[in-house]
Amino acid sequence: MKINTLILTLPILGMSSMALADKVEERTFKPQTAVVERLHHHGVEQNHNEKAPIAKMQSQQKLFNARVMTMQAVAVTCDLNALANASTSSIITEIQNQGTQCINELFSASALTQSQVFTSDKMFAVANHAKALSLTYAGGGNVELEALFLYLRTGFYAEFYNDNVSFATWVTTAVVGAVDAFVANSHFYDDNDGHAKTLNEVIITMDSSEQQHRYLEVVKQWLSRFNESYGAKWNVRSAVNGIFTLLYRGQWNDEFVTAVGKDTDLVTRLSAFTQKQWMIGSDAQYLIVNAASELARLKQYSDTPIQSAVDTGLNAIFSTYTSFGYGDAVWLAAADSVSYYADCNDYGICGFVDNLIGQALSQSYSCSSTIKIRSQNMTVAQHAAACDAMGAEEGLFHTKLATNNTPVADDNNSFLQVNIFDSSDDYGKYAGVIFGINTNNGGMYLEGDPSVVGNQANFIAYEANYANAEHFVWNLEHEYVHYLDGRFDLYGDFNSPTEDVVWWSEGVAEYIANLNDNDAAKETISDGSRFTLAQIFSTTYDGFDQDRIYRWGYLAVRFMFERHYDEINTMLAHTRVGDWIAYKAKTEQWKSSYESEFVQWCDDLVAGAPSNIPPTVQINGPYYGVQNNDVSFTSNGSIDSDGSIVSYQWNFGDGSSSNQANPLHRYISEGKYNVSLIVTDNQGASQSAITTATIEKDSSVGDNILQNNQTVQTNGAQNEQQYFTFAVPQGASELVFTITGGEGDADLYVSYEAAPTETVYDCRPYIGGNEEQCAIDPVQVGTYQVMLHGYNAFENVQLTASYTPATSNVPDVCATQGSRSNGRLNDGEAVCLGNSGPMWFSLADVQSQSGIAITTANGSGDISLSYAESSWPNGNNELAESNNSGNDECIYIANSSQYWGYLKVLGSSNGVSLVVDYNSSGCR
């Protein structure tokens, strides 16, 4: 059967969006997906059926610099025609050969291709083969099984949307057999990411085949079994999250509704899941949020035996968590949903939205009589910068588009309210509740109905470290143009145009926001994915092609402004009065008249783009020196012919680095070290060079290395001198050097860093015999040198150096909370790190602090820290690094000059805690 359709307008993950209403009247509270960074994307409107099966595979995304996200996939060549032409006996081989990436393309394939690929006989054959493989599945993941189940669920997706695809009833029976075989396999609940990739496809297939009622026991088992170990793995989290989609889409399955209405065991387990507080603040938090929302959704099944248990579970949420603060994402998910399906008075939570607005958007800043900012945590300087940006853009807009500052008729949106949350996470938690919107995007402009007097236009956004560094409001410039364009260029509301205007609305927003500074648009000309004017003018949001919507929309708008400005004014005369037929006729004329000119203009744009000349680097090696003595390094001769060198990054080969142009460095040990220098120019181009530093042994330093609290026994002749070294780590105290026992008379000398002599030293006890001690206070980090001088011959003298290691002041938060692998770090807040890197964290307003200390401790394994400002650590911009053996790491930065700091954590570990301290004099 096909579930009846319900079309809603929702944004795509990671994008910003425009929408018609300031409140969505019908809400479905769809489960959240895996949390990802929303980088360098704008949003779209897309018609999406909330009742539809899950679409394409969701893969983990990795952040590799401040502005680019990439999917971890290897390009393959797909042949959808081969899948379409395959027989029931060869379809298995085709799926095996082409794999999941090509099967994924079938979601957006043409209706004809889908009807040829997905027949009842092919689905039946694939289901039977999947069943056979499931019976012998050995765990750890299976790419063939993954592709087979992906094919099956894609088939159900095609059946839902494509009227030419319809399956016999025995297809579902065969698919259920395959799923049942996998569930019955002993590895079904295994705890590893490889298995989870296959598990994910199986759980989605349970839902896509509309068998939500059949797999309620699977849902309950995962609710009970899910623990910190499962929650630490990205693929496992993503797979298990599928159980909430089963509960969500089950609401349109009559058999499911009947079963759930009397399943108090499900309610009990769902309630218990919402009390697994280790997920709060961790990478797994979105699962507990979904659980709270699904628990509240059960209130729609009124007059069923489960209602008392549901109320108990909801009241437990409202008493355990707070509406703003600890666990607020869970509290709000439950409150938002239950207020929709039931009476808020039953839970004593009425008015929580108004309270949330007062807390989450507590700041108010008036830019002008037409713009007001409500924000969560912005400085006065940021508010002013955001206002200045919008003010400057407004002037540019009116000049470029010759609006005469006259709104279109019937537009009452004279006042814009800009709502800015502190982060994308806060946007996700609060914006949906306050504005009734989907928040899997990069922000949203809500135009409302401008013809209504008193209508309030809202732009909802968040701060991000990858946004404009003057104000850090993501998408501000682009979205503000949408407001201006809607008020001064386009008659009616967002849905009024009867012809395609996406190219214009997105293109003009990009053009005014970027003007001629849009390298991404130039790059898309060269990458081979060109579009004609005819294609650009007919662009819609369906299928979402970012290049076509934004880059080529920008190029078409810029082309018309530069070459045919009068034609732009003619077009706007039509759109400002809502004459969409005349608008369509005008663009039809352009696509036939200007196509060849547009192609040449694009070619000229690329050819005329100036290319940056990378800097020339001079490392001036090789270098030579003596241990414990300064070595002078120089970058003299490094130049940038068309700009300036803005950063230097030296790596001295011993774990130390410097960002000075001509640094001094002291090596503690002799040896030959590989030294590198990277110089970067003002346009971001870098060049590197390598050389060596050969460090000779300091003749005054002996070979003996002392270990903490380990005694060595030594003999010496009269006037003989023996040398030892002793390394003292950060935080050590009670440093003591002692000689005792034996015969004769040895004298003890101790110095910090440099080797002592009979006349130069830090400590000499001046005691006859062999009972001498040097207690050092204060203790310094580094190497201490010890000399034993034979005043008389001595033998069997015992030498001991000892210190008390630092006691960690970093709390062991991994014992009480789940792990995190990204996000913002706050002053004094300890977090539990994930098990493997890279992990990425940001620090806000570092320039206002006298010093910033980043300390890690506890657990097992070995990690390293890298810190940069202005952009993410990338191997050549680090300001500080810490790479000690184990997990005790420390980075201290004083006098930062940037608003944002960026931290990268590498290595593998378990149970490591990290804490950041602002205005600190050193690490913990």
| Catalytic sites, residue numbers | 479
Verify cis geometry, omega within 30 degrees of 0, for the bond prior to 778: yes
* Closest by Cα among 282, 306, 421, 447 to 359: 421
Sheet of 851-857: strand order equals 819-820, 830-833, 913-918, 851-857, 889-894
CA pair distance 901, 438, nearest whole angstrom: 30
Cα atoms found within 13 Å of the Cα of residue 501, Cβ hemisphere only: 28
The contacts of residue 404 (CB under 8 Å, 6+ apart) are 398
Question: Is 614 strand, coil or helix?
Answer: coil
Verify cis geometry, omega within 30 degrees of 0, for the bond prior to 450: no
Tokens 């005008």, residue? Answer: 586
Alpha-helix residue ranges (DSSP H) falling in 709-753: none
Q: Dig out the tokens for 489 from the structure.
A: 């260029």
Which bin fits 819, alpha (ψ -120 to 50), beta or left (φ > 0)?
beta
8 Å CB contact between 247 and 281 = no
DSSP one-letter string for 815-848: GTS-EESEEEE-BT-EEEE-SBS-EEEEES-GGG
8 Å CB contact between 481 and 396 = no
Question: Is 325 strand, coil or helix?
Answer: coil
Q: How many C-beta atoms surround the C-beta of residue 610 within 10 A?
A: 7
Q: How many C-beta atoms surround the C-beta of residue 646 within 10 A?
A: 15
CA pair distance 856, 890, nearest whole angstrom: 7
Distances (CA, A) of 921 to 602, 852, 855, 891, 924: 55, 8, 12, 11, 9
8 Å CB contact between 916 and 902 = no
H or E segment and range at residue 309: helix 307-320
Q: Dig out the tokens for 887 from the structure.
A: 């997990």
DSSP secondary structure code for residue 669 in this structure: S
Tokens 């390598």, residue? Answer: 690
Partners of 681 in beta bridges: 645
Tokens 């089963």, residue? Answer: 246
The contacts of residue 573 (CB under 8 Å, 6+ apart) are none
Partners of 740 in beta bridges: 798
Q: What is the CA radius of gyration of the chain?
A: 33
CA pair distance 478, 506, nearest whole angstrom: 8
Phi, psi of 863 (to 5 degrees): -125, 165
8 Å CB contact between 562 and 594 = no
CA pair distance 874, 647, nearest whole angstrom: 13
H or E segment and range at residue 553: helix 552-563
Tokens 């790479």, residue? Answer: 883
